[in-house]
Chains A and B, each alone.
Chain A
C-alpha cells in the first residue's frame, strides 16, 4: 500500500485554490438559495464577487508575486494536472468569461423570473471545470472535466425553460454532446488499450497519461489502432470546437441558447476545446504529425468555407454569430496546424501566443457583440432578426458603437484587436509554410467582411426610404433601453480594450 500513500501525498490541493474556491462558491450559492426565505430572490452578487475576486487574485499573483514566464510547468496529482504559465493564462481567461457571462445574463434572468443563484453556480462550476480541463495531463482527468463542462452547458443552454427554443437547443446540444463523448471515449479506449498492451517495449505504467502516451505514440505512429483512436479523439474534440463536419449543431444551439450562454459557449467552451487540442497535438499525438497535418488541414478548410458561406445568408443575428463562430474555429485550427507543422527552429510558444491572442481578441469582440444583443433582445431571445438593429446608431449611439467595434474586430478591420489576431495567425501560418491554408483564410476573411458589414450598416446607417418599390415607412416596433450602468461600463471597457489591443500588445507576447 506504500504506493497508494505516495499517490495520496501527490495530491497538492493548494495548486487548485481558484478552482476549489469557485466550486465552494457555487456550493455556497446553492445552499443560500436552499435556505432563503420564500419570495426573496437572491441575485448574482456573490458570484460576481467571487469570480471578479479570483480574477484579481490571478492578475495580482502574476504582477507582484510569482512571475514565472518561462517555467516548464509542474505536474501534480499523479500526473493528472500539469500547471504552466499558458495554462494559467487560460484559467484567467475562463474566469473572465464566467464573470462576463454571469453579469450579462443577470438582467434577463431577473426579467424572466428564473432562478439566479443556480445559474451563477453552474457558470462558476463550468468555469472551474474548464480551468481543470486546460490543465489536465491525463485522459481520465480530461474526460471527466470535459463531461462536467458539457453537463453544465446542457443545463445552461436549456435554462430558459419557458422557451421551446431554448429547450430544443439544449436537447440538440445534449444529443450531440453525448454522441461526441461516446466517440471521444472510444478513441481514448483505443489509445489506452494499444498503449497498455504494447508488447514492443516496456508498456507505460499509466497508459492514460499524456506524458507516457507521447513516448508510446511516437514509437508506434504506424499502428492503425493508434491512428483510429486519434481520429476518434479528434472527432470528439471537433464537436467541442464546432469544426466541420461536426459543426451542424452550432447554429441551432447558438440561436436557441440564452444570449449570455451563447457567448459563454462560443468563447469559453470553444477556447477550452482549442487549448485541449493544442495540448494533445503538441503532446501525446505529436508523433502523428505527418498524419495529423493533412487531416486537420482538410478540416480547417471545410470549416472556414462552411462557416463563412453559411453566415452569408443568415438574417437571424444569433445564427449568424453561430456560423461565424464556426469560421473563427477554422482560423484557429490553422494556428493549431501551424503549431505542429512549424519549422523546428520557430518556437512553439509563439504559435501558442498567436492562438491565445486570437482567442482573447475574439472573446472581447464576441462579448461586446453578445452583450449588446442581450441588452436589445426581445422577449423571445432566439428570435433576433437583423432588422432589429436598424438605425440603432440614432437611438443608442453607445450600443451601436460597441456593436460596430465588436463586429469590426471580428471581421478583422485594421486598427482593432481582431485584425492583429488574424495577422498573428497569418504570420504563424506563413512561417509554417501553409500557403494553401493561408489563401483559404484570406478568402474566408474577405467573405466575412461582407456579412459583418451588412450588420454594421444596418446598425449605423438609417434605412433608405424609397429604394424598394414599396414605400412603407420602416415600423419602429421597439425602442432599445440603455443598459444598466455596470453593464455599460463593462461594455465600454471591452470596446476600449479591443481598440487598445490593436495598438499595444507586442510586449504582452513576450511572456510566452
Chain B
C-alpha cells in the first residue's frame, strides 16, 4: 500500500518535472528560421552546387576521372597551331578547346572529390542551394561557352590540322624511311666494296698474324 502510494507520488513528481520543463520552453524563444523570408547563412565552403570557371579549365579530365558517380562529361578538341588559347589565371597554358563540359547535378553526390585534383582550381562547390527544377534534364549544367558553330569549326580545324599533321608525319616517315633505305643501300654498297677490299686484304692480315 505504502509502496503503491510512493510509486504514484514518484510518477506524479516526474510528470510535473517534465511539464515544468515544457512550459519553460513554451515561453522560451523559438529556433525556427522562417525559410523564404529568412535564409540560413551558409559558410563559404558549403558544398551545395558544383561550379566550373570555364575560362580556367585546361581540359585535363582529372575531375571527371575522380568522380565516383561519373557525372562530369568532358569532350576536348586540341587547339590548332594558329590559335593561342592563352593561359589560365594560374599560369597553365591552355591547349584544348572544351567542346563539352557538362555536369549532371541530378547525379552529383556532392562528395568534393573532383575539386581537389584540379590543377587550376577551376571546378569548385558554391553555396547556392536553391536550384530545383521541374524537368530533370534542366539539372544538366552546360559550362562550355563555345557556340555550336564554333564547335563545328574548331572540330573541323582540329581535324584538318590533325590530318595535316598526320600527312606531315607520314611524309616525314616516308622521307625518313627513304633516307634510311638510301643509307642502307649505301651502307650495303660500301660494305660490299669493303668486303671486296677485305677479301683481298684479310688473308694477308692473317698471314701477318701468323708470322
Query: Are A and B bound to each other?
Result: no
B: residues with CB less than 8 A from A are: none
A: residues with CB less than 8 A from B are: none
